[in-house]
Structure 1
Amino acid sequence: MTRVVRFHEHGGPEVLRIENVDVPGPGRGEIQIRVKALGLNRAEALLRAGAYIETPTFPSGLGLEAAGILETVGEGVEGFAPGDAVSVVPPVSMVRWPAYGELVTFPAGLVVKHPPSLGWEAAAAVWMSYLTAYGALIDIAKLHREDCVVITAASSSVGLAAIQIANRVGATAIAVTRTGAKKPALLESGAAHAIASAEEDLAARLAEIAGPKGVRVVLDPIGGPIFEPLTAAMSRGGILIEFGGLSPEPTPFPLFAVLSKSLTLRGYLVHELLSDPERLEAAKAFILDGLISGSFRPVIARIFPFDRIVEAHRFLESNEQFGKIVVTV
């Protein structure tokens, strides 16, 4: 029997239960991992609450990221051996491949032998954040030196990964956060500039920073009224990549800015990378290179033990974190 986290109904963090279940061995092409740490993501809170793009069948597992020791290799798997230190690339379906457990099974194509310099907690905090940021900034927007990129919700794990990726390619990272409380930490984390959108005139500050050239790339998980000042600051031919919808307010369509500047507003899900083996391999190579060189350093907000998964989910929804929440197993 193995301890796993499941939920039997939609609801708040309190619906999560740690239960003992029988976990079958890995099938063909699969790998079984003895988990040491989990990385938490907002997608898991959305699945638990019944607001995610995937619909669970109860009782349902959940979880997208894990790191641990490879325990068993399924038939047909090459390049891995028991005892390897590995981490998991998020699957397209966390209902089919849940990560919250002491022993988990994943397709071999989603398992990575991470650099030995990473601890378990850092390894569990890599893939969702860096893949999401890479897919938007490098794969889609082709971010390059001398670009200005605006990163909203910059204190999130994706935002912090995006800052590091921008710095690696020589772009100027402009971090946007709601209040000034997190501005010093964002600057310390590599942002060239930090703006508190609830306390400053966002459009004016962006115009001041970017100058007449404007901002070519915007990475935003918020939506809502912020679209107008963001697009007002963008350069001709710029691209705004939207990968969330955190704002409870309607998102206006900035028609005249889009028309006058020939802007692209692009919806994006990390599943685009996960379902394309060639793009995924390019992403993994880029991220592993950054981890090995030390350019990429996952930022961990807080670590919880497995038995406090409910408390970890409460903190996940508090919006108080700076970086990734990790659970040790």
Structure 2
Amino acid sequence: MSRPTAVGGAAPATMRAVVVTRPGGPDALQIKDVPVPVRKPGWVRIQVKAFGVNESEVTTRKGESDAEVTYPRIPGIEGVGLVDEADEDSGLRPGQQVATMMGGMGRSFDGAYAQYVTVPAGQVIPFGTDLPWEVIGALPEMFQTAYGSLTRGLDLKAGQTLLIRGGTSTVGLSAATMAKDIGATVISTTRHAGRAGELRTMGVAHPVVDDGKIAEKIRDLAPQGVDAALELVGCTALPDTLGCVRVHGTACFTGALAGGWAIPDFTPFMIPSGVRLTSYAGEAADLPAAVFQQQLQGIAEGRLKVPVAKTYRGLEQVRDAQTDVESSTTPGKHVVLLDD
């Protein structure tokens, strides 16, 4: 059995965490003193420094998640921090900066809304950076989803044209800055004309106001159709999005911001002739450590931009963060920074 290593001696016996004991409103998020999680072999214990707040955690708090979620539960599908304890042969050292996300985190096992979290070693991404924790905390789920969609989902190349349907979402904003860095021309949608400037800031060449039917507008910009389309709005918008794609171009279904995860009475003939349709739903392993390190370097150099909506300090502000995520009034990622 691998011997454990730990940060500067034994961890405390208890920690502060946000616990959902029953589904409900923001008041269901209770701060409690709970035992520090015991690390299992093959897992890593992380001292959490920051975490992003996501729609899926709001869903968990409301009791609207699938049967995978049981209560009581510490939410949080992503987090960043320092390795506290790991197997000696894991390649992870105490005090090393790491990110983690998804893989059942905050759903089938306790997540990052806490001072410590334990996760399988396979969903831990090591890195090194001088960027502040509140910036790094915005990245894991958001950048992984955007990167996976653009690479595995769309195989986007320099010189191509990308349409992002749902452009002011955190993934949409991240995908825009990554696509521009790849060398693609980005067309991105928003329901509000006043947010066009925000899209341009993230590298969007052509913001488009989405009134539900955009194919004609997109064909004005790309008469043959776009090379690639990233669908984040949902199945209700997907048929129109497919109409924006050129023959032998690809549309990737990644999200459903407006709901609509299925098309009633679907037939393959709904897909325009010659257009390719795929999907992306990835995990931490889809974001290699070397790629994440490159992304951090790109942020430090100013090539990649991080859409942070607001930073909250301490677990006491988690309720405010979830309330703001639900309201959807401020585009970008909501990040909770933990006290040292």
**AA aligned opposite 1:236:** V
Determine if contact 2:236/2:263 at 8 Å carries over to the other structure. Answer: yes
CA displacement at 1:210 relative to structure 2: 1.3
Q: CA 1:218–1:59 in structure 2 vs 1: closer, same or farther (change >3 Å)?
A: same
Q: Which residue of 2 aligns with 1:58?
A: 71
- For the residues of structure 2 that align with 1:54 and 1:302, how far apart are their CA atoms? 31
What is the alpha-carbon distance in structure 2 between the residues aligned to residue 143 and residue 256 of structure 1?
25
Whole-Å separation in 2 of the counterparts to 1:184 and 1:48: 33
Normalized against structure 1, the TM-score is what? Answer: 0.88
Residues 257-268 of structure 1 mapped to structure 2, 5 A cutoff? 258-259=271-272, 261-268=273-280
SS of equivalent residue, structure 2 residue 158: coil
Indicate the residue corresponding to 1:175 in structure 2: 188
Tell me the secondary structure at the aligned position of residue 206 of structure 1: helix
Q: Which moved more, 1:169-178 or 1:44-53?
A: 44-53
- In the alignment, which of 155, 158, 163 is matched to residue 150 of structure 1? 163
The alignment partner of 2:168 has SS state of coil
Counterpart of 1:90? 102
Change (3 A) 1:44 1:160: same
The 5-angstrom pairing of residues 215-226 of structure 1 reads: 215-226=226-237
2:296 to 280, 285, 291: 291
Structure 1 54/218 Cα, relative in aligned 2: closer, same or farther at 3 Å? farther
Give the 4+ runs in structure 1 shifted more than 6 A. Answer: none
Instruction: Tell me if 1:242 matches 2:253.
Output: yes
Q: Distance in 1 between matches of 2:38 and 2:337?
A: 23
Query: Cα 1:240–1:52, aligned 2, differ >3 Å: closer, same or farther?
Result: farther
Counterpart of 1:81 in structure 2 is 93
Q: Report the Cα offset of residue 239 of structure 1.
A: 2.1
Deviation digits for residues 184-226 of structure 1, max 9, x if unmatched? 011011111111113x9622221111122x1121112212543
Unmatched tracts of structure 2, length 5 or more: 1-13
Does the Cα contact within 8 Å between 1:89 and 1:112 map onto a contact in 2? no
Amino acid at match of 1:86: V
Deviations 1:79-103 (A, max 9, x none): 3332223222333443314111012
- Residue in structure 2 matched with residue 309 of structure 1 by the alignment: 318
- Corresponding residue number in structure 1 for 2:4: none
Measured in 1, the distance between the counterparts of 2:136 and 2:126 equals 10
Contact 2:312–2:318 (CA<8 Å) still a contact in 1?
yes
8 Å Cα contact 1:257-1:263 kept in structure 2: no
Given the superposition, is the C-alpha separation of residues 54 and 327 from structure 1 closer, same or farther in structure 2, using an over 3 Å criterion? farther
Kindly indicate whether the alpha-carbon contact (under 8 Å) linking 1:241 and 1:266 is maintained by their aligned counterparts in 2: yes
Of the structure 1 ranges 296-305 and 180-189, higher mean CA displacement relative to structure 2 is found in: 296-305
In structure 2, C-alpha distance between the alignment counterparts of 1:226 and 1:194, rounded to whole Å: 17
Structure-2 change in CA distance of 1:251 and 1:139 (3 Å): same
Is 1:232–1:257's contact at 8 Å kept on the other side of the alignment?
no
Using the TM superposition, give the Cα deviation of residue 327 of structure 1 relative to its aligned residue in structure 2, in angstroms: 0.7
Q: Which residue of 1 aligns with 2:11?
A: none
> In angstroms, what is the RMSD of aligned CA positions?
2.3
Residue 255 of structure 1, CA deviation: 6.3
Give the CA deviation at 1:245.
2.4
Paired letter, 2:247: R
Residues paired across the two proteins, number: 318
TM superposition shift of 1:235: 0.5
User: What is the CA deviation profile of residues 295-329 of structure 1, one whole-angstrom value per residue up to 9, with x for unaligned ones?
Assistant: 33322100112202111101011111221100111
